[in-house]
Structure formats: structure tokens, C-alpha cells
Amino acid sequence: MDCSLHRTLVGAGAVLAARAASFAAAVAITMSGPALAAPSDYRFELVQAVPAGPGKSDVTVRLVRAADGRMVANAEISAAAAINSVVEPTGSRRFRVETATAGPQTLQLSAKVPRVTRVERTFNFSVKFMQGRTIRGASEIVTGAVTFEAQ
């Protein structure tokens, strides 16, 4: 075999081996990503409930992490029974709810919580190139309820 052909083949094999190793490392990083919280790791909290006219109440709620009580600022909170809603500057959400009677009322809620975004970087030694990609996790849906006192 020609010596130059042999060197070319050996060089190509080294490049393929380096690419295979880079791919295997990227797959390993992807498969061993961070553990993500389950929807049971969240809870809805009643911030405030005030009368808003006859048969109506303004109910302010927020979503917090059950483990540490910190508010989830980027959650999209919604309620099916609400007439309208307003996002508060504090990250909570205010709903106007029709209440037929005075006394304890329950408001069913749901929230869309975006998962963690991570950046993966892989360095290919054979061509001295850093490859990076951003991976956004799918959002999870959290459901729950709050009870408030209607006037």
C-alpha cells in the first residue's frame, strides 16, 4: 500500500474516532440531565381576596415551590371560572370571580411552569471546534385550588 494513502486512511480513522467520541459524550450529557421537579412539588397560595361588587370577588394567587416556599415568577397561572385576570408586578395573578353566595368558595387553578433551559457544549479536538446548543425543556402543567371567603 502506498505510504501517503496509508497516512490518509489512518488520519481519516482518527477524525472519525474523535467525532464518535464527541457524539458519545453529547449523548451521555443529554441522558444525564438534571432531575426535574414533578407537579406535586408546587402549591397555589392565596395572597388576597377582596370584594369587588355584588356577587364578585378579586382573588390574588401565586404559585410557590413546596420545598422552599419560593414563588415561581415565570409561571402562567389561569382559572376557568374567572371573568378576567391581571398579572401583578409581584409575579402573582389576580382573578375576578363571580360568587353566587357568601362564605367559603373554591377556585380551581392551573399553571404552566417552564422547565429548565440548559446549554450543552462539545469540543471536537480533531478540528478544534466548540459546538454549543440550547435545550429547552417542555413545560409542565400544575393543577390545584385555593379556598377564599366571599362577602
- Per residue in 70-109, pLDDT (tens digit) is 998 888 999 988 888 888 888 899 999 998 888 999 999 9
Q: Identify the pLDDT of residue 13.
A: 53
Q: Identify the pLDDT of residue 28.
A: 45
* Nearest by Cα to 84 from 102, 98, 104: 98
Read off the pLDDT band of 8 (50, 70, 90).
low
Read off the pLDDT band of 14 (50, 70, 90).
low
Read off the pLDDT band of 30 (50, 70, 90).
very low
Q: List the single range of 52-61, 78-87, 123-132 with lowest mean pLDDT.
A: 123-132
Q: Is the pTM of this model over 0.85?
A: no
- Top pLDDT among 23 and 47 is at 47
